[in-house]
Amino acid sequence: MVEKVTYKPASIGVEINLSGENGVYIETFPNLRSGEWTYKQRGKMLQARSRQTRTEEITLKTQTPELLDMFLEMCDADVENNTAGTLCVDDWQAQVFIVKDKATTIKPNFYEVTLTVLLTEGVWRKPYTYSYVMDNLKGSGLNYPHTYPFDYSRSDVSSRIWLETFTPLPMDLTIFGSVSNPRINIAGNTYALDVDIKLGERVEVDSLNNTVTLISSTGERRSVISNAYFTRDMNIFAPLPRSGGVVTWNNNFNFDVTVWKESGRAPWA
């Protein structure tokens, strides 16, 4: 079962452990382990289907009211600022708002509240990140190769990226400078940017939020989505096919690939 449950408020750069280690405990929340599709049926077919926003209730217990106050204040700040927090179950995560809390038990040294959790997308995701470094490839994730039968004298370096899945998966990129007009080919699609990324800078391609951001060495952020390509075979937000694919680039810069495995429910295992 679950080893660790945490909440990461978007408004404050902290992580709150909800597994009981710091005195706040969240139960096994069977409601969040349930999945639901919104669909429109036509005959024997589903004409439309999607996972949509939904609310579920979970129970939180603590012996320390000060910790409960702090947690609820952070949840309220996320709602006030309209910035979803992140609920994590082991390595799986969902974007949520805590939109209601109801006191159910008040005893000496024991307090219990029922939280109404709004899942903003109705989807849980688990990231698998692969790092591609000039002249040295490293990766972590399911079924990822750790030996590479290629010749470094070639102008392009290649390997294969793959996850066991039944559907295409969203995929993000982080490209590190220095590099001009980077090109990365994955599974036949070229992820291309016409931009200069200086040493100490990086570009983050966020396919889930449809953003392409240049981050300077001082932390300044600037959208460069207008410098990206969106044609059929050069789509900066193209997902990873279910069969995976070969990754190639000119070996002149470093980058990370983050593939998001998706589920409609919190994990059982």
* 27-59 tens-digit pLDDT: 777 777 777 777 778 888 887 777 788 888 888
Q: Tell me the backbone φ, ψ of residue 72, rounded to 5 degrees.
A: -65, -35
Q: Supply the pLDDT for residue 158.
A: 56
DSSP 160-220: EE----SS-B-EEEEEESSEES-EEEETTEEEEB--EE-TT-EEEEETTTTEEEEE-TT--
pTM above 0.75, yes or no: yes
> Which has the minimum average pLDDT: 63-67, 150-154, 174-178, 185-189?
150-154
Q: What is the pLDDT of residues 221-266, one digit of tens each?
A: 999 999 999 998 999 999 999 888 899 999 899 999 999 998 888 8
Of 168, 192, 172, 167, give the one whose Cα is nearest residue 182.
192
**How does pLDDT run across 12-32, given as a tens digit for each residue?**
778 888 887 777 777 777 777
> 190: phi > 0 → left, psi -120 to 50 → alpha, else beta; which?
beta
Asked if 238 and 189 touch (Cβ cutoff 8 Å), the reply is yes
Torsion sign over Cα 237, 240, 242, 247: positive
Is pLDDT larger for residue 22 or for residue 109? 109
* Eight-state DSSP code of residue 3: -
**Whether the Cβ atoms of residue 169 and residue 262 lie closer than 8 Å to each other:** yes
